[in-house]
Amino acid sequence: EAQVTQNPRYLITVTGKKLTVTCSQNMNHEYMSWYRQDPGLGLRQIYYSMNVEVTDKGDVPEGYKVSRKEKRNFPLILESPSPNQTSLYFCASSLSWTGTEKLFFGSGTQLSVL
């Protein structure tokens, strides 16, 4: 089944404790992206990747890191999480980025930073 898999689904952590949210897709997609969803603010892009070893900042990259060493994986790293990073996170992918591609989303990771 074609899908984007995120783990974990729920995560509670404390300020400053490094964490990684994994994202994997099995559709051989070139384009991958991370969004965060907050009440009243909608979805905002954190980082995106056009292909392996090609990543770039989105609208809200501060406090986050990403890497794209393999085509299928695009982990999101929070090296020193803070309470303002409490949010619902989504990984998404598409075949490529031509400006007319639809996105496939993971099920989301609900992160709480205490």
Partner 1 sequence: SQQGEEDPQALSIQEGENATMNCSYKTSINNLQWYRQNSGRGLVHLILIRSNEREKHSGRLRVTLDTSKKSSSLLITASRAADTASYFCATGIQGAQKLVFGQGTRLTINP
Of the ranges 15-23, 27-35, 62-70, 75-83, which one interacts with partner 1 (CB under 8 A)?
A: 27-35
With contact defined as beta carbons under 8 Å apart, do 10 and 110 qualify?
Answer: yes
Residue ranges in 72-101 that form contacts with partner 1 under rule CB under 8 A: 88, 90, 92, 97, 99-100
Any contact of residue 61 with partner 1 (CB under 8 A)?
no
CB of 50 to partner 1, least distance (A): 7
Candidates 28, 80, 84, 107: give the one binding partner 1 (CB under 8 A). Answer: 107
**Six-digit token pair at 105?**
């989303």
d(CA 36, CA 60): 9
Any contact of residue 23 with partner 1 (CB under 8 A)?
no
Which residue matches tokens 């309470």?
A: 83
52 CB contacts (<8 Å, ≥6 apart)? 68, 69, 70, 71
With contact defined as beta carbons under 8 Å apart, do 34 and 87 qualify?
Answer: no
Q: Which residues bind partner 1 (CB under 8 A)?
A: 4, 31, 33, 35, 40-43, 45, 48, 50, 56, 58-59, 88, 90, 92, 97, 99-100, 102-108, 110
